[in-house]
Structure 1
Amino acid sequence: MNNKQAYRILSKVYPLLELKKHDYNNDPDKDHLFYDLPVFRDAYEKVKLFAPYLITPLIRRILEPIENSTREYYPTDKASAEALINASVDLMSSVIRFINFVGPKEFTEATEESLDVELKHIDSLEELEKAANLLRRSFNTPVLEIGGQVTVEKVDSGSVWITLGIIGAAGMALKLCANLIWAAVAIQNKAREGKVFIEHARTLEIKNDYLEMLIEAERKKIQLIEEGEAQHIISMYMADKDSPNLNNNMRGSIEAIGALIEKGAQFYPSIKASDEIKPLFPDFSIKELLESKTKLLSEGGQKAE
């Protein structure tokens, strides 16, 4: 697992590893009730996924009843409650030590004007070449158009991690990339909704001619959304807004990013990025937040400005 990604995720979730407990009647000798367990379980799953070596066998065994439960609450006696609290504190301490150890190294190597890209399911040179071509289509033309530069700064192991230098244009290049990524995410979600609608239509046994009309209508809707997203980005960032083929080039970038996302790719700003830049990018680690923000954007919300 990439240490940079583990650092990025665990830095957000470690406070949620603290178990919340209520003492009945404020009497410590009576039963205890742990609550908000879905929040704890989600944070615990993140540790299991990104840094499982931080969970000792003893911690795993003690926390197992809460991990395996699907309930929001967990009542227990005093002795078990103390063991659970101690295990969660020990785990949180281990995560904090990991963050403090990894953070300085990753910050030293990172640059503010960069974009971390995780490419999944790359199991052959052919797949890597396809992904590289999509990456080039994704950002090269738009960033060059505003006087920026795209370079490969680093390639890590595990999933294929590539750090792209998104340099120049007074920080506008990174904001441009954030908008392109959000546009691709929004269009991907709309396309998935369209596929669900078409599959439902197929179950209704409607006539083929009408079904073809629905499919074509969905295709045109996605095309119009894509054209609108491209034009919006052009109006925000491009000096020569009437340049020939600019809309097609921008749509090509959005489509390429969408194709990468469809294959499991994720995009993150540098861990050293400024507080102005970080919120502009989708958080691929929180699916519910991503879907909620995408829905807001599709209803007329604002992306990176």
Structure 2
Amino acid sequence: MNTFLQSPAPKFAPALTVVGSINLDITATASRLPSPGETVGGGVLRQQPGGKGANQAVAAARLAGSSRMVGAVGQDDAGLSLISAMAGAGVDVRDIARVDAATGTALVLVDGDGENQIVVCPGANASVGLEGVTFADHEAVLCQLEVDQDVVLEAARQAKGFFVLNAAPAAPLLPELLDRCDLVIVNETEYELIPALRNAPLVAVTYGGEGSAIFVDGERVAEAPAVRVTDIANTIGAGDAFCAALVLALGSGLEYSHALAAANAVGADAVRDASSQPALKPLNHYIEATKPAGQTV
């Protein structure tokens, strides 16, 4: 495993590059989700930036001050607006390609409790590539599975530093890809759907209201409780904010339980925000807020 996690805690979190999806989220919020064949009225429609990759890059930029995004959008107005939104959040967008395809779109239904149903139309995300992209020794690289897994594998091969895979949506993983992962992040459902993760060197699993845990070679070695939230606005993007926060917290030298607790706190702030790319405080705020009694950070 990469020595990234064993290095002394730096004053600043490491550089983080995200390789992944960029979507326009078209969201309809209603009191409840419809059953098959049913129409539910009274919804509220909104459009906002999304995509797991873009969400993670924006969260990282808001937590750490900067991040880099590698992805693709269309030549359409949606693509330009998504790039502008990421740049405005502090993301380096120079490695986002504009291609001859529609910008990726997610059609999202959200109920009054923040639960959701999502259909994703990948569009330009199917054209993501790494031509001309390089990774520095100090960079952590974070990928997901909303782009072609061969692209993710190529990112894993090229990454020189700490490589993280958010294995979502769940899919069988190429053996070479799993072998290269320094960390895999999944929710409890994805953990069950990908049996190969049982023997992976380092896996973080989220359990919703039950918190999160880290497994080393299949053994549960650390955990942190969830932060209780009563004013849930939107659960979309919370898992992405958790991913970015956990990578940055581990890169800051935190031990596993504290890193999980800080990431849980970030995720809790994310669900209070109606946006898929929520406003977040600097990472140090969450680190201090979750610091074990008597511990200095």
TM-score range, shorter chain: under 0.3
The structure that has the greater radius of gyration is 1
TM-score, length basis structure 1: 0.22
TM-score, length basis structure 2: 0.22
